[in-house]
């Protein structure tokens, strides 16, 4: 493990000299955190088992949780995926570079240290100039989970990465705040029929418009089932506070949360509320944060993890969150909120 983490600022432009330096660190087996359009990634050379292992150590990540391999050129896909169905080509054409990860049977050059022991590999081409330049410079294949300590909310700005990873990795590239804020959609194309393993910015409707019917992994809705994306079983994205998700008509939600705040304050606790621009003025007491506007669902995704981190920093002991079933990103946002709440949901 390294004890000095260098920070490189590329918020204004992609600096080719720094990219070369970062690419060399990766090629030599080191760890570099970099921006993508979804969340910050913690990169290592995906074809080097020892480099991949360093990611698990730096994050404190369970070794059965496979990494996504990031590529920058379409032709590189065939070097790591042994079977690429027509549907995958169509999805890549429609959404790459972008927030879509696809799972394929892997070729022999991908070490099992990268795939958590699986015979499949998850691949994505991120839509971010810094990321693409870095991947090319590093040789084409960068394994990268989200750049947070295991169990913490994913980083949506470089400062979040520094909070978790300072002293554990070689370099952090600051590319400013990310544009999407929740991780990529994962679709499994290694089986008979395409299946969504993790919801993200690319919604089911967007996928189905390109390839027709797509199933959900049944484990996404049923916590007693074993998810096909091993990482989905962990209590991810979790704030330190106890969290409760409150669902129902807005006035009932507001009334319920206000009663809970009053109780918590009476018990000497410091409660927090995840509200929206439209509702933040309706709560009395506690720390109330707007996560975004219900009329702009991307703003909600962008602020979700940052708000959870802020509550951690402020030492809030209990968080009450409104539900956000927005039209396109709602499935991804609710999936993350339900996990953050450890499946504690109340319908009012």
The residue ranges that bind ligand TXA (CB under 6 A) are: 36, 38-39, 41, 65-68, 101, 103, 115, 118, 120-122, 124, 126, 144-146, 183-184, 186, 197-198, 228-232
For residues 289 and 336, which CB has a smaller minimum distance to ligand TXA in the complex? 336
CA gap 200, 209 in Å, rounded: 16
Partner whose footprint covers residue 260, from Mg ion, ligand TXA, none (CB < 5 to 8 Å by kind):
none
> At its nearest, how many Å lie between ligand TXA and the CB of residue 92?
15
Partner whose footprint covers residue 120, from Mg ion, ligand TXA, none (CB < 5 to 8 Å by kind):
ligand TXA
Closest CA to 91 of 183, 196, 178, 181: 196
For residues 105 and 179, which CB has a smaller minimum distance to Mg ion in the complex? 179
> At its nearest, how many Å lie between Mg ion and the CB of residue 196?
17
For residues 35 and 286, which CB has a smaller minimum distance to ligand TXA in the complex? 35
Partner whose footprint covers residue 65, from ligand TXA, Mg ion, none (CB < 5 to 8 Å by kind):
ligand TXA
> At its nearest, how many Å lie between ligand TXA and the CB of residue 155?
9
Q: Which residues of 156-187 are buried (b: 16+ CB within 10 A; e: fewer)?
A: bbbebbbbbbeebbbbbbbbebbbbbbbbbbb
**Interstrand relation of 41-45 and 32-34 (parallel, antiparallel or unpaired):** antiparallel
For residues 60 and 281, which CB has a smaller minimum distance to ligand TXA in the complex? 60
> For ligand TXA, which residue has the nearest CB?
231
Partner whose footprint covers residue 81, from Mg ion, ligand TXA, none (CB < 5 to 8 Å by kind):
none
**Helix (H) and strand (E) counts in the chain:** 10, 16
Binding of residue 115 to Mg ion (CB under 5 A)? no
Stretch that binds Mg ion, among 23-31, 77-85, 111-119, 144-152 (CB under 5 A): 144-152
Beta-sheet strands, E only, within 175-317: 185-188, 195-198, 215-216, 242-247, 271-275, 287-290
Q: Where are the alpha helices (DSSP H) in 108-172?
A: 129-137, 158-165
CA gap 195, 73 in Å, rounded: 24
| Binds Mg ion by CB under 5 A, chosen from 52, 146, 185, 279 | 146
> At its nearest, how many Å lie between Mg ion and the CB of residue 305?
10
Collapsed DSSP state (helix, strand, coil) of residue 137: helix
For residues 146 and 190, which CB has a smaller minimum distance to Mg ion in the complex? 146
Sequence-distant (≥ 6) Cβ neighbours of residue 280 within 8 angstroms: 288, 289, 290
Stretch that binds Mg ion, among 84-92, 135-143, 146-154, 273-281 (CB under 5 A): 146-154
CA 85 to each of CA 47, 89, 102, 131, 194: distance values in angstroms, whole numbers, following the listed order: 23, 7, 11, 26, 10
The answer to whether residues 185 and 207 touch, using CB atoms and an 8 Å cutoff, is yes
Write out the residues near Mg ion by the rule CB under 5 A. 146
């Amino acid at each position: 493990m390294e004890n000095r983490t260098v920070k490189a600022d590329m918020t204004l432009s992609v600096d080719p000299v720094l990219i070369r330096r970062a690419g060399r660190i990766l090629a030599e087996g080191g760890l570099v955190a970099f921006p993508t359009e979804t969340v910050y990634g913690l990169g290592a050379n995906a074809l080097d088992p020892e480099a991949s292992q360093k990611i698990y150590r730096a994050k404190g990540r369970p070794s059965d949780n496979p990494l996504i391999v990031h590529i920058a050129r379409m032709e590189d896909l065939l070097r790591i995926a042994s079977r690429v169905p027509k549907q995958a080509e169509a999805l890549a054409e429609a959404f790459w570079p972008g927030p879509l990860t696809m799972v394929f049977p892997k070729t022999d050059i991908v070490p099992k240290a990268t795939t958590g022991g699986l015979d499949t590999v998850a691949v994505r081409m991120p839509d971010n100039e810094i990321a693409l330049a870095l991947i090319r410079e590093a040789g084409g294949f960068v394994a990268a989970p989200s750049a947070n300590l295991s169990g913490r909310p994913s980083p949506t700005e470089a400062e979040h990465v520094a909070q978790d990873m300072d002293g554990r990795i070689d370099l952090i590239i600051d590319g400013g705040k990310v544009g999407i804020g929740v991780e990529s959609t994962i679709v499994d194309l290694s089986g008979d029929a395409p299946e969504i393993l993790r919801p993200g910015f690319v919604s089911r409707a967007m996928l189905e418009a390109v390839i027709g019917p797509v199933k959900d992994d049944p484990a996404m809705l049923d916590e007693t089932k074993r998810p096909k994306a091993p990482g989905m079983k962990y209590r991810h994205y979790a704030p330190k506070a106890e969290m409760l998700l409150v669902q129902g008509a807005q006035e009932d939600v507001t009334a319920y949360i206000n009663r809970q705040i009053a109780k918590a304050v009476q018990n000497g606790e410091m409660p927090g509320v995840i509200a929206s621009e439209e509702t933040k003025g309706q709560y009395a007491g506690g720390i109330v944060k707007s996560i975004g506007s219900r009329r702009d669902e991307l703003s909600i995704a962008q602020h979700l993890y940052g708000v959870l981190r802020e509550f951690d920093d402020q030492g809030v002991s209990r968080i009450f969150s409104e539900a956000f079933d927005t039209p396109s990103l709602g499935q991804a946002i609710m999936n993350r909120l339900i996990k953050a709440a450890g499946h504690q949901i109340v319908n009012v």
